[in-house]
Amino acid sequence: MNKIDVLLGLQWGDEGKGKIVDVLTPQYDIIARFQGGPNAGHTLEFQGTKHVLNIIPSGIFHSEKQNIIGNGVLIEPLIFQREIRDLKARDVNPNQNLFVSKKAHLITPSHRMLDMANEQAKGLQKIGSTLKGIGPTYTDKIARIGLRVGDILKSDWLDRYNDLKEDHLRLLKSLGYDLGSFKIDEIPFLEYERRWMESLETLKTFTFIDSEYFLNDALKQGKKILAEGAQGSMLDIDFGSYPFVTSSSTITAGVCSGLGIAPSNIGRVYGLCKAYCTRVGSGPFPTELFDETGDRLRQAGREFGSTTGRPRRCGWIDIPALNYACMLNGVTDLVVTKVDVMNDFDTVKMCVKYKIEGKETLQIPYDLGEKIEPILQNYQGWNSNLQGIKTYNELPSDLKDYIKAIEDITGVKVAIVSTSPDREDTIFKI
Ligand code: GDP
Ligand code: IMO
Ligand code: MG
């Protein structure tokens, strides 16, 4: 029986997962998302065009491959409808090759209102949520009151929707909100809700599946599956920079619960990191640069959120965090993206340890928010344009030294290096 391979982010998200999944898709039969929802923004670029996916797996542009939205994913039907429309405008017909788990939970308009209200209530402590309703929807899932895709086909669907909405309205009222004052994506609540209800019809045109059987049967038949992660390990609900995290298991363990795959059936784990580091939203970020170098990374890397357009915070690569993520995920293959962003840096720095209360450590402290001084090591910049380079050997030796340092310190081999947003600019090392 085949094992399922995994691809996920090792930092605070936006490592380039969408691009690399798209590049690896020809090697697989099925691409399956296992967690997260429309908080994700996965960018694909090829043949001069760019496309951002939120809920739909990044294998969708390969019409002969199957794409699965797993039970661990959250679906916001109106956002889903917009994604489908955008794909159809590009002559992609996802009805052919996209399947949706009946057990995936639904984000309702009142979940989105709660997300906004909760964030506002937090004031300065706000998480910087994408406001897509992720926190409240996973909360309801765990509280055992959530709504799932399979429920929309049931005769008591509307009653169940209204019951949950009433619960949410009571909560909102206690926070001082009433329906009339709310807008979602600039649309008044009741109008948004009307469109949301309509968008369920688009969702219903897709085949709903028991994705755990679908995927395990596929493995038995010798099919190759890649599980696509969203967010990154440092945003994981258990191991991320809590409470500044998302509400799902973003690590390899999330594949087991988010798709119904046994741990013994996990194969290769591709862990992605940028050659530097970014974070969007609030929360600790030990290697963050507040100076001109941070601005340079932001401009050269076009570090503005794919989902929200927010400027991303930028800093040097963080080895203690990367080591931690490799440990948690059992990474077998590292993928280093966006090396080109530092093409004209004379010196590139790497945080090799943290100094906390005078002591140097490689370990992530309980509270990443405490005062951490990053111990930086300098590397010679490669000062060259990487355009047109197709093989690892052709890369400048200073860049190869930098990559080797990442391998040595994490103990994991780099399998892929990405040198531009385009599908074609991807170098396989091993
Ligand atoms: P994801 O959430 O992990 O899929 O990543 P995002 O799509 O949110 O952010 C990654 C951004 O970097 C996107 O704009 C990509 O097009 C871009 N990108 C991916 N790989 C590279 C690369 O190697 N070099 C450069 N310059 N950009 C890249
Ligand atoms: P992809 O898949 C980067 C961040 C938000 C916020 C925190 C919680 O594109 O890498 P949420 O909406 O989940 O409640 O927000 O997590 N965040 C991301 N940051 N990339 C993402 O996804 C993210 N998804 C959520 O900015 O700080
Ligand atoms: Mg992203």
Whether 419 lines ligand 1, by a CB cut-off of 6 Å, is yes
Whether 43 lines ligand 1, by a CB cut-off of 6 Å, is yes
Within 10 A of 221 (CB to CB), how many other CB atoms are there?
10
Choice among 5, 14, 140, 318 that is catalytic: 14
What DSSP line would sit under 183-198, residue for residue? EETTEEHHHHHHHHHH
With the most atoms of ligand 1 within 8 angstroms of its CB, the residue from 10, 19, 20 to mutate is 19
Q: How far is CA 319 from CA 10, 102, 244, 261, in A?
A: 11, 39, 20, 30
Tell me, yes or no, if 408 is annotated catalytic. no
With the most atoms of ligand 2 within 8 angstroms of its CB, the residue from 53, 130, 272, 279 to mutate is 130
Q: How far is the CA of 310 from the centre of ligand 2 (A)?
A: 11
Nearest to 207 by CA among 66, 55, 57, 40: 66
Per the listing, tokens 């004209």 go with: 344
Whether 235 lines ligand 2, by a CB cut-off of 6 Å, is yes
Q: Which run of H or E residues covers position 159?
A: helix 157-174
Per-residue pLDDT of the chain (430 residues; tens, 9 = 90+): 899 999 999 999 999 999 999 999 999 999 999 999 999 999 999 999 999 999 999 999 999 999 999 999 999 999 999 999 999 999 999 999 999 999 999 999 999 999 999 999 998 889 999 999 999 999 999 999 999 999 999 999 999 999 999 999 999 999 888 777 789 999 999 999 999 999 999 999 999 999 999 999 999 999 999 999 999 999 999 999 999 999 999 999 999 999 999 999 999 999 999 999 999 999 999 999 999 999 999 999 999 987 778 899 999 999 999 999 999 999 999 999 999 999 999 999 999 999 999 999 999 999 998 899 999 999 999 999 999 999 999 999 999 999 999 999 999 999 999 999 999 999 999 7
Amino acid at 30: I
Do you find a cis peptide bond into 243, omega within 30 degrees of 0? Answer: yes
End-to-end CA separation in angstroms for the chain: 24
Choice among 42, 105, 111, 168 that is catalytic: 42
Which atom of ligand 1 lies at the shortest distance from residue 21's CA?
Answer: 4
How far is Cα 37 from Cα 182, in angstroms, rounded to an integer?
22
What DSSP line would sit under 26-88, residue for residue? GG-SEEEE-S--TT--EEEEETTEEEEESSS-TTTTSTTSEEEE-TT-EE-HHHHHHHHHHHH
Find how far residue 200's CA is from the centre of its chain. 24
Whether 70 lines ligand 2, by a CB cut-off of 6 Å, is no
Within 10 A of 132 (CB to CB), how many other CB atoms are there?
25
**Closest ligand to Cα 279:** 2
How far is Cα 201 from Cα 204, in angstroms, rounded to an integer?
5
Per the listing, tokens 């500044």 go with: 244
Within 10 A of 135 (CB to CB), how many other CB atoms are there?
22
Which atom of ligand 1 lies at the shortest distance from residue 230's CA?
Answer: 2
Q: How far is CA 12 from CA 291, 312, 356, in A?
A: 20, 10, 21
Structure tokens at 168: 């949410």
With the most atoms of ligand 2 within 8 angstroms of its CB, the residue from 74, 233, 235, 307 to mutate is 235
* 119 close to 131: Cβ distance less than 8 angstroms: yes
Nearest to 247 by CA among 256, 238, 255: 238
Tell me, yes or no, if 22 is annotated catalytic. no
How far is Cα 70 from Cα 32, in angstroms, rounded to an integer?
6
Query: Environment class of residue 30 by beta-carbon count within 10 Å: exposed (0-12), middle (13-18) or buried (19+)?
Result: buried
Q: How far is CA 67 from CA 33, 60, 207, 288, in A?
A: 8, 6, 11, 36
